[in-house]
Structure 1
């Protein structure tokens, strides 16, 4: 007969017994005897107990007492035993059956506890149930501990695939053998393949735990069961994170650490976070669902109890990084933390979505946004750094300024994380109205490109202020040539140039040509002026020759002085340096050759012409080749990256 059919038959028999209980004739006794002969469960005593209960007969207390004594005999033996009940499957089955009967009896009699005698019996039953639950709790804990100890770390477990677990058994054994008393706790080592689920307990043990959990939940000891479960599994998680190299650090601890130590800790945090969110936490979720199958609330509560501490540890570290210093040199590591947490948000949303752990998901989202705000704050600090960089003594030789090298290399490196920065500045960037110097045509660009354009504006303004330190206008333009050329070079061969756009590159390339023209005009036009041939048709030859002698003397002095001074100046780009030299040579050498030819035609050969003609045209070219070599004081400007 099916279990459902048996329950219906018993219910009908009890109904008949109840009806007959109101009838004192001999027929009632005869019918009850027939039931008893058919099946012992229909005995007169058992059915009479039900009748007594239903009628609140005085015999009810005696019947309940009789029932409890029978259950006590079945249960007390196991409760007081010094040996693990689950060491023998038959004992475990018998004990669970007795507990089931006790739970059912308490539930069935509980509605009559208004009767004082019944209430006294039920108090005994509750006490008995409590002791049974305590023993189940001990057995539950023992099974979890023994299950972990007997778990073979070298055997392959999988989630439908043949992936091995991320364990290193030899390493674990060495660690454990170092302390003879230490319990064996299997932990995960860093992996790159996260398509793994860990069965941290043998399947048979999980089934036994489920059977115990089912009784403890039914006996209103579900939270106690969850606490025992979580205390054991929490140790596994904490030890796993520790073996992955992650320290238990408070936010205050992180803020007191040197940045170099924090950088090392970030590297470990990234690995630990990926393993935790992609392997450890999902495996714990799966284990909770199996142990507490059918009791979703208990499963959710247990999972939260197991994972909350480790999740908070991971989130607290990220939060400490987010609220720390906004120094520009921290950008790249904070980007790593931001990207890691961003990529793990889907895992947080799947794992921590129930009523008990949803706060962890919300906290992860909050800290992720806080990291985005920190990145935006770092760029604001970079802006302030550029503004505050003092315009003191100029760079020797008009070479590259350190602020130019720093900012351009910084932005190039930052733009390697362009997609992340685009996301950050779309969410946290300043409104465009806060960038008054940016051209209107840039308003249709992304927030990140506008941000980069704005930083370029600040840098150029800072360099223009620095250029005014030089007393020599020509050197001022050499300084601007060098720094503008460096800016364009660093931008056009990187993601930064793509953000700034082709028009920006063309505009600043034209600026370099403009600075070149201004340099030449401010220093060499005077020299060219000495070689200008005047209209001398009305002047006698001697007067013309005399005038040209004076011009040659002035030219020689000015040319010598310019070459002496500008040989110590520095232009870092070889091609640009040659272009500037050639542009001077193309104007100077023909003019000089023509001037000397005219001069020699007016003065007799050998008549003190060498006194005035100091250079041959080849000598002019040699002197020009010495320009922009840089003195010892400007050699530092030659080193660029």
Structure 2
């Protein structure tokens, strides 16, 4: 690689192997096209001072014999060799050699003479004439013209006010008014120099003048490749837009759309985001074609590889993903790793598999003699990035397992699962890429296994959760909220978890609660739960058992049922809100849990309000000695007992909490439906037996409407409920 600033890459087995020129032992490279006809007729080089020396040619003086020609050529060759040995830094030495002859600028040469030079070179290339009829003067002038053009551009001199460096791209601007031939004329000239070199090597050996000219063409080609290699790098770096800015076939010129047609591997659509604008891709294609034609494909690919790899790594760093070692990952706090690293890793992982990157290289090499280089270059870049991604994934797989890591592990698993087919489907026979991806498949399997073990660990979390004190006021227990919210999030990965459990599970054994019978009909139902659904059902059963044991911590049996109703309703509501859990657990499970809730509701009413209702019955109240008479002391006791019981229940249960509004309303309505009508009837039948005035005020504390209002204060967690109704009224 001639370019500085990039460390040499390791050799690739069987790919991008370079070759040396047998005559001058200079390494060959590949890059882009330009033409001498354009230089001679459309680019008026010139100026004053020492810069003009690069664009001058030596006039053939009349009467000059072959010996003088050979001396001139030898002097020029010495100058050229000195220039190469010092990498074009010793300008004074070169100038001294050239100034020994009379010089003319391009603009001083007539159009007829330029046309004659071009025609003679073209005829030579087409006919392959014998050595005695080779147009050496014309070929020599053509070589000098192209060499001077390359040197001028390489050194960044201005041509017509335009910086020579990156002139190829600037020439494509619409406002320049240049034709396509003008834009890439230098590349056409370099192609012709390569053809001249090949033709000269085919002439009979032993001619000194031929050998010297072969050396000159080799030097020009070498300098041209250095220039084109730098142009390639500049185009890649300076013209690299964000991929999302361009879409569709716009990244490839209409001339070559039929050769390379990007395909979106996810949708099958021809439209995919492009890495570069179409004019840049076209320029890169022309450069690559010229470099490969000159047998400099190694340098062409190396420049593309190092530059694109550097740009991709920069893009990934901008996304937040940077190369990290396994030890670094192990030391990072999970909260930071989850937000700042894993999320960015999932985005970065899609980069090597993107169609635009692969299509870019296909477009660049589409018109060269070696289109297969596109696949090899994509493989090199993809393998390098995948190796970095593999290291991070392996480090995450080795971290200590804990429940909060499940979701990010599943994100990583999903990313690898979804994007592997997009690569392997297109690169089915790419052994190098498949070797790298096989390592990632292994890491993916370990991440998937870790996710399964974490999910299974929930069973131990529920079993080991032991609390010796009850939750105040019978509200939803924290473990219920945690487990149900956790399962709701986990079941958003239902497809992935089902797939993982299917892979690692043996024969499916239903949990005890799934007795495959319909609670409403008692009819057996077919058992169709997947391994993941069985695990989920087992977790729900464990949670029920855990809550049942916690409910026994309450001394008030009524509060026990409130606690069970609160938690049961919370669980059912979470299941209803999650289509995934709802589908996994099935209708039979939901019917059974709804039946359990109704049972708790009835048990609560029986435990709490049956004694209150007993106060409103006429048992022992009627006087057997008098028809229609009542025993007043018994009647007074019944009113007193009702007042005391209701006041105590209100004082206690108004502090209890039923957070589900629907359940709260259902409880209040059911209580009112039982108590208020019974109280109204009792009051209507027996209030007349109390003396008006003091007795009525003393024993009848509530009207039916007041009673209903007080019932509506139950289960709202109010602190005022702890105060007796009688005291509040008094």
TM-score category by the smaller chain? 0.5 to 0.7
Contact 2:252 2:282 in 1 (8 A): no
Match of 1:309 among 379, 384, 397: 384
State the 1:499 CA deviation. Answer: 3.1
Quote the Cα distance in structure 2 between the aligned partners of 1:158 and 1:568.
Answer: 63
Match of 1:327 in 2: 402
Match of 1:237 among 289, 295, 312: 312
Quote the Cα distance in structure 1 between the aligned partners of 2:666 and 2:433.
Answer: 68
In the superposition, relative to structure 1, how do residues 253 and 393 fare at CA in structure 2: closer, same or farther (>3 Å)?
same
1:34-73 correspondence to structure 2 within 5 Å: none
Match of 2:570 in 1: 486
Quote the Cα distance in structure 2 between the aligned partners of 1:135 and 1:431.
Answer: 74
Q: Helix, strand or coil for the counterpart of 2:310?
A: helix
Match of 2:174 in 1: none
Q: Helix, strand or coil for the counterpart of 1:527?
A: helix
In the superposition, relative to structure 1, how do residues 154 and 619 fare at CA in structure 2: closer, same or farther (>3 Å)?
closer
In the superposition, relative to structure 1, how do residues 398 and 212 fare at CA in structure 2: closer, same or farther (>3 Å)?
same
Quote the Cα distance in structure 2 between the aligned partners of 1:91 and 1:605.
Answer: 124
Quote the Cα distance in structure 1 between the aligned partners of 2:434 and 2:306.
Answer: 21
What is the CA deviation profile of residues 82-106 of structure 1, one whole-angstrom value per residue up to 9, with x for unaligned ones?
A: 459793766775567758998x99x
In the superposition, relative to structure 1, how do residues 163 and 95 fare at CA in structure 2: closer, same or farther (>3 Å)?
closer
What is the CA deviation profile of residues 250-301 of structure 1, one whole-angstrom value per residue up to 9, with x for unaligned ones?
A: 23323322333322333333333334421464146537865985485x7665
Match of 1:438 in 2: 514
Match of 1:475 in 2: 559
State the 1:566 CA deviation. Answer: 0.8
Quote the Cα distance in structure 2 between the aligned partners of 1:574 and 1:158.
Answer: 52
Match of 1:625 in 2: 712
1:441-480 correspondence to structure 2 within 5 Å: 441=525, 443-480=527-564
State the 1:473 CA deviation. Answer: 0.7
Q: Helix, strand or coil for the counterpart of 2:700?
A: coil
In the superposition, relative to structure 1, how do residues 91 and 622 fare at CA in structure 2: closer, same or farther (>3 Å)?
closer
Match of 2:346 among 253, 257, 270: 270
1:263-302 correspondence to structure 2 within 5 Å: 263-279=339-355, 281-283=357-359, 285-286=361-362, 293-294=369-370, 296=372, 302=377
Match of 2:60 in 1: none
Any gaps of 5 or more consecutive residues in structure 1? 1-72, 106-128, 166-192, 635-641
Contact 2:613 2:675 in 1 (8 A): yes
Contact 2:656 2:714 in 1 (8 A): yes
Match of 2:414 in 1: 339
Match of 1:153 in 2: 239
In the superposition, relative to structure 1, how do residues 503 and 513 fare at CA in structure 2: closer, same or farther (>3 Å)?
same
State the 1:355 CA deviation. Answer: 2.6
Structure with larger RCO (C-alpha < 8 A, sep 6+): 2
Quote the Cα distance in structure 1 between the aligned partners of 2:190 and 2:684.
Answer: 124
What is the CA deviation profile of residues 163-212 of structure 1, one whole-angstrom value per residue up to 9, with x for unaligned ones?
A: 599xxxxxxxxxxxxxxxxxxxxxxxxxxx84436589765665555565
Q: Helix, strand or coil for the counterpart of 1:443?
A: coil
Match of 1:254 in 2: 329
Contact 2:321 2:344 in 1 (8 A): yes
Is 1:561 the counterpart of 2:658 in the alignment?
no
State the 1:515 CA deviation. Answer: 0.5
Is 1:508 the counterpart of 2:580 in the alignment?
no
In the superposition, relative to structure 1, how do residues 211 and 80 fare at CA in structure 2: closer, same or farther (>3 Å)?
farther
1:57-136 correspondence to structure 2 within 5 Å: 82=87, 87=150, 94=193
What is the CA deviation profile of residues 551-574 of structure 1, one whole-angstrom value per residue up to 9, with x for unaligned ones?
A: 333333222211111111111223
What is the CA deviation profile of residues 129-149 of structure 1, one whole-angstrom value per residue up to 9, with x for unaligned ones?
A: 9xx999989976663332121
Is 1:615 the counterpart of 2:699 in the alignment?
no
Any gaps of 5 or more consecutive residues in structure 2? 1-76, 89-145, 151-185, 204-213, 254-270, 517-524, 722-730
Contact 2:480 2:571 in 1 (8 A): yes
Quote the Cα distance in structure 1 between the aligned partners of 2:625 and 2:687.
Answer: 15
Q: Helix, strand or coil for the counterpart of 2:431?
A: coil
More moved, 193-202 vs 409-418: 193-202
Query: Is the helix fraction higher in 1 or 2?
Result: 1
State the 1:526 CA deviation. Answer: 1.9
Match of 1:121 in 2: none
Quote the Cα distance in structure 2 between the aligned partners of 1:319 and 1:352.
Answer: 24
Q: Helix, strand or coil for the counterpart of 1:569?
A: coil
Contact 1:352 1:361 in 2 (8 A): no
Match of 1:361 in 2: 437
Contact 2:288 2:365 in 1 (8 A): no
Match of 1:546 in 2: 633
Contact 1:376 1:429 in 2 (8 A): no
Is 1:586 the counterpart of 2:673 in the alignment?
yes
Quote the Cα distance in structure 1 between the aligned partners of 2:660 and 2:348.
Answer: 46
Q: Helix, strand or coil for the counterpart of 2:323?
A: coil
Match of 2:257 in 1: none
More moved, 560-569 vs 248-257: 248-257
Is 1:399 the counterpart of 2:475 in the alignment?
yes
Quote the Cα distance in structure 1 between the aligned partners of 2:364 and 2:487.
Answer: 47
Contact 2:476 2:567 in 1 (8 A): yes
Q: Helix, strand or coil for the counterpart of 1:501?
A: helix
Match of 1:386 in 2: 462
Contact 2:190 2:224 in 1 (8 A): no
In the superposition, relative to structure 1, how do residues 223 and 314 fare at CA in structure 2: closer, same or farther (>3 Å)?
same
In the superposition, relative to structure 1, how do residues 622 and 371 fare at CA in structure 2: closer, same or farther (>3 Å)?
same
Number of aligned residue pairs: 508
State the 1:511 CA deviation. Answer: 1.6
Is 1:377 the counterpart of 2:463 in the alignment?
no
